[in-house]
Structures are given as structure tokens and as C-alpha cells.
Amino acid sequence: MLKVAVLDKNNIVTNIGIINSINERPNNAVVIQDRQACNIGWRYNGSSFSSVNSQSEIPIGKRRENAWKRLEFNMHSYIFVACDFPQPTQITLQAIFVDPDSNNQQRAACKSIFDWIKNTVLLYYYTKKIEIMTSENPESVTWNFPANCNSSAPKITLAQILRMGM
């Protein structure tokens, strides 16, 4: 998976996302290298990213939106990459859950993952989103998905769930 920055016509970062391969990269996006700092609203100069303005010059609504987008990106990265539940895996889990041929053990395993995302990850995400959207200094809001969500994460993989049906 690759982290990319989507640029506007002035080379200002308008969005940050994840793609599976370089072939999926939009024409107006550049790959963000490991450990390379990049935020929404920053300028890309062909090799690196830099802040355009001081945060005080950016309207509070835009600063909140930028912080919220970073939070959302981090949540998706946590679920998709760190926990190995990317979107295709989640779709497969949903299919297993509703398939009449799946057994109760498979359904229970899928449900444990859905419940963890809903009751732990999303609850933490929305708590932080509210904090960001009500803060006068949204850049100061911090979050740590692994520290707050790992302890209750299901210790099961899609491959293990599939083997339960054999």
C-alpha cells in the first residue's frame, strides 16, 4: 500500500489517501515517501512538502477540517494496514457473515471484528473528531489508535475464519 498526496493545479495538497499500487495513482497525485512530512494545505515542490502559511492565517474551519482528515486517514491506516482488515477483507467478512452456508463459528468471528470496529475504533474516532471540531487549536488534538484500540482487537485473521468452514 502506498500513501499519496492529491494536488491541486498550484501543487497544494488537497487530500491524502492510500492506494494499493502505483498503477492506481491519480494523475494529480504524488507518492509520499516513508517519514516524509505532508499535511493538507501544504505545497509540493517536486521533491518535498512545505507549509504554505502559518496556521493562524488559515481559517479555523479549514484547520479543523485538515485535522479531521488526518484523523480519518490515520483511522483507515490503522484498520486497513496495522490490523490487516483492508476494505476487500471487510467485504469478504460481510459476505461470510450473511452466507447461509457459513457456520456459527465463522459468523461469531466476523461479528467480533465488526463489533470491535464499531464499539472501539469508531467510538474512539468520533470522540477525537468531536474534540477536533470544537477545538480552537485543532492541531493540538492528538490520537493514538494502537494504544487505545489494540487491547480489544480480535486476534483472528480472514484466513483463519475461512478455515473454520472447512
Domain end call among 9, 34, 52: 52
Range of the domain at 156: 59-166
Does 95 lie in the same domain as 153? Answer: yes
pLDDT digits (tens, 9 = 90+) for 32-48: 876 677 777 788 888 77
Does 66 lie in the same domain as 29? Answer: no
Does 43 lie in the same domain as 28? Answer: yes
Q: Which whole number is the average pLDDT over 6-19?
A: 82
Q: How confident is the model at residue 109 (pLDDT cuts 50, 70, 90)?
A: very high
On the question of pLDDT at 56 being above 60, the answer is no
Does 149 lie in the same domain as 108? Answer: yes
Does 81 lie in the same domain as 40? Answer: no
The answer to whether the beta carbons of residues 104 and 33 sit under 8 Å apart is no
Number of domains in the chain: 2
Does 159 lie in the same domain as 92? Answer: yes
